[in-house]
Chains A and B, each alone.
Chain A
Amino acid sequence: MTESRRHQVELANMAGIIERLAGELALGEEPARFIAALEGLGLGEDEEEVEAPRDE
């Protein structure tokens, strides 16, 4: 198999996987919910204290 043909096969495989998995994605699903999952489901939730901006 040529290099170009191998790449085409690999791309087609990846596209097939995504098509299969993405079939049941909810409309509300979007990439930023990944960070939200880590922060929301992670251990503890305390934030560092951040200095408030000073009035000049």
Chain B
Amino acid sequence: MSDASLAGLAAGIRARRISPVEAVERCLARIRKWDSRLHAFIRLDEEGALEAARSLEADAAAGRWRGPLHGVPLGFKDLCHLHGLPTSCGTRMPEYFVSAQECSAARRLLDAGAISLGKLNMTELAMGAYGDNVHHGDVDNPWLAGHAAGGSSSGSAAGIAAGFFAGAVGSDTGGSIRLPAGCCGVVGLKPTYGRVSRAGAMVLSWSMDHLGPLAWTARDAALMLKVMAGRDPADATASRRAVPDYAAGLEGGISGVRLGLPENYFFEGVDEEIAAGVRQAARRLDGLGARVSEIRLPDPRAITDVAMLITRAEASTIHARVFRERPQDLQPMVRARLQVGFGISAYDYLQALRLRAKLTRAFVREVFAEVDVLLTPVIPESPPALAALKTATVDEFNTRAGRFSRLTRPFNGLGLPAISVPCGFTAAGLPLGFQAVGRPFDESLLLRLGHTYQEAAGWHHRRPAGC
């Protein structure tokens, strides 16, 4: 394990090969050099990070270890509220989200010894698939300048790829962890609905929001998830299930694991290069002991439509005040999406919630009787050029963004755990990735599959040349 990974860095600090202050200074040097291009940060907290690092260094010298992430620098999407730093949620208002409650997931990471480098760029109100932001700068793709980093957790993914921090917290309502992870060539995990508390994070859609880790490797994500997950009195939807030691199970291999490649929907209209990359990854997983087969799924368009309706109604309800009082402060694309939500009837919203329950039961029973994991592409097309997005009308932009998240959104509706794992590069040099989806609360298998693949394929040893 190299110090570039979260696991390697944590081990290096524990072995006293590197100090927390050195770790932070390394990150800051890279941020100073490259973030004027990438725009991964909304608020970099140099002083706070160095102060925390000095304190953790003193603790380490005295043999006081705070937890498994002692001295590890992390970044937090700027919808995670932490006392002492404003939470803009990607809007032009620095303190858009004020909360007495800190983000439980972020706080747990910090209590486990992690250091906050600051708050990360995101699409305004987490409503967007590309990572563009007129207020804080478009997040650039570390692998190919001028291309989208994916959204909405754009700064989280781009910053990991650029080596700005060892891991980050993102949120995912329709794909906002997995899309940027796929665009930036890092691992992103949307856990099962309820696995990680959402308390203290801005709500976009309480029925669809998930918090999860983004990191360089599946092992790093496993270490973060173990700390982030678990019951939380501040979030009634947080599950009371015990949290497994995800990292402990990583070396078990995938022999006999039944992998399903969907026959319908997930490969339709997908760029040939992307589809070929996922099928190539499936062949490699087959060679590692998995049993790959094709599977016909219950039509995912139904749950996608249901999820979209629920998200729109809830987002408009939550963000009604800014829409009504300061509409000029919102990007036109965000305004347009909120506007539609106000027109959804209570009847349609409640029917959608009832349908979600039925569709989820049917999907889980039908699909996971045949396979253990589904394997799909994450994004249907390569990250587009940012300049091309800028010339689109509001309508064109939102239609394209809807298509971009069509492979991830079904699993927000179904609440199933889904991980994005890098699996190569396009001819142009942009990352390829696959999405693996499991049974409810089976994050362990997804992380083990991701780890097994990464160890065999080795794509994670490559770093962007431009930064």
A residues near B, CB below 8 A? 3, 6-8, 10-11, 14-15, 17-18, 21-22, 25-26, 29-39, 41-48, 50
| Cβ 8 A contact of B339, one of A7, A30, A32 | A7
Interface residue B248 (Cβ < 8 Å from any Cβ of A): no
Question: How far apart are B358's CB and chain A's nearest CB, in angstroms?
Answer: 6
A22 and B441 form a contact (CB under 8 A): no
Report the nearest A residue to B313, measured CB to CB. A14
Q: State the CA gap A30–B358 with chains docked (Å).
A: 9
Report the nearest B residue to A33, measured CB to CB. B357
A18 and B441 form a contact (CB under 8 A): no
Contact A37:B354 (CB < 8 A) given known A14-B305, A18-B309, A43-B441: no
In the complex, chain B residues whose CB is within 8 Å of the CB of A35: 193-194, 237
Main secondary structure of the interface of A (DSSP, over half): helix
Contact A37:B441 (CB < 8 A) given known A10-B340, A21-B302, A47-B241: no
B residues near A, CB below 8 A? 192-194, 230-231, 237, 239-243, 302, 305-306, 308-309, 336, 339-340, 343-345, 348, 350-358, 360-361, 364-365, 368, 395, 415, 439-442, 444-445
- Give the number of A-B contacts (CB < 8 Å): 116
In the complex, chain B residues whose CB is within 8 Å of the CB of A18: 306, 309, 348, 351-352, 355
A11 and B340 form a contact (CB under 8 A): yes
Q: State the CA gap A35–B242 with chains docked (Å).
A: 16
Question: How far apart are A17's CB and chain B's nearest CB, in angstroms?
Answer: 5
Contact A15:B415 (CB < 8 A) given known A39-B239, A41-B365, A44-B241: no
In the complex, chain A residues whose CB is within 8 Å of the CB of B309: 14, 17-18
A48 and B230 form a contact (CB under 8 A): yes
Question: How far apart are B137's CB and chain A's nearest CB, in angstroms?
Answer: 27
Top 4 nearest A-B pairs (CB, nearest first) are A42-B440, A31-B353, A33-B357, A42-B441
Q: State the CA gap A36–B192 with chains docked (Å).
A: 13
Contact A41:B439 (CB < 8 A) given known A11-B340, A14-B348, A15-B345: yes
Report the nearest B residue to A47, measured CB to CB. B240
In the complex, chain A residues whose CB is within 8 Å of the CB of B351: 18, 21-22, 25
B358 and A38 form a contact (CB under 8 A): no
In the complex, chain B residues whose CB is within 8 Å of the CB of A21: 302, 305-306, 351, 355
Report the nearest A residue to B368, measured CB to CB. A41
Question: How far apart are A9's CB and chain B's nearest CB, in angstroms?
Answer: 10
Question: How far apart are B25's CB and chain A's nearest CB, in angstroms?
Answer: 38
Among A21, A32, A36, chain B packs the most CB atoms within 10 A around the CB of A21
Report the nearest B residue to A32, measured CB to CB. B357
Q: State the CA gap A48–B441 with chains docked (Å).
A: 14
In the complex, chain A residues whose CB is within 8 Å of the CB of B192: 38, 42
B194 and A37 form a contact (CB under 8 A): no
A30 and B440 form a contact (CB under 8 A): no
Q: State the CA gap A46–B415 with chains docked (Å).
A: 19
Question: How far apart are A25's CB and chain B's nearest CB, in angstroms?
Answer: 6
Q: State the CA gap A3–B239 with chains docked (Å).
A: 42
Question: How far apart are B192's CB and chain A's nearest CB, in angstroms?
Answer: 6
Can you identify 21 A-B contacts, CB atoms within 8 angstroms? A3-B336, A11-B340, A18-B306, A18-B351, A22-B355, A25-B351, A25-B355, A34-B356, A34-B357, A34-B360, A37-B360, A37-B361, A38-B193, A38-B360, A38-B440, A39-B239, A41-B368, A42-B192, A43-B440, A44-B242, A50-B231
In the complex, chain B residues whose CB is within 8 Å of the CB of A47: 240-242
Question: How far apart are B103's CB and chain A's nearest CB, in angstroms?
Answer: 21
A41 and B364 form a contact (CB under 8 A): yes
Question: How far apart are B33's CB and chain A's nearest CB, in angstroms?
Answer: 43
In the complex, chain A residues whose CB is within 8 Å of the CB of B340: 7, 10-11
Report the nearest B residue to A45, measured CB to CB. B241
Question: How far apart are A18's CB and chain B's nearest CB, in angstroms?
Answer: 5
A48 and B231 form a contact (CB under 8 A): yes
In the complex, chain B residues whose CB is within 8 Å of the CB of A14: 305, 308-309, 344, 348
B344 and A11 form a contact (CB under 8 A): yes
Q: State the CA gap A50–B309 with chains docked (Å).
A: 37
Report the nearest A residue to B308, measured CB to CB. A14
In the complex, chain A residues whose CB is within 8 Å of the CB of B440: 37-39, 41-43
Question: How far apart are A37's CB and chain B's nearest CB, in angstroms?
Answer: 4
Report the nearest B residue to A22, measured CB to CB. B351
Question: How far apart are B147's CB and chain A's nearest CB, in angstroms?
Answer: 29
Report the nearest A residue to B354, measured CB to CB. A29
In the complex, chain B residues whose CB is within 8 Å of the CB of A33: 357-358, 361
Question: How far apart are B301's CB and chain A's nearest CB, in angstroms?
Answer: 9
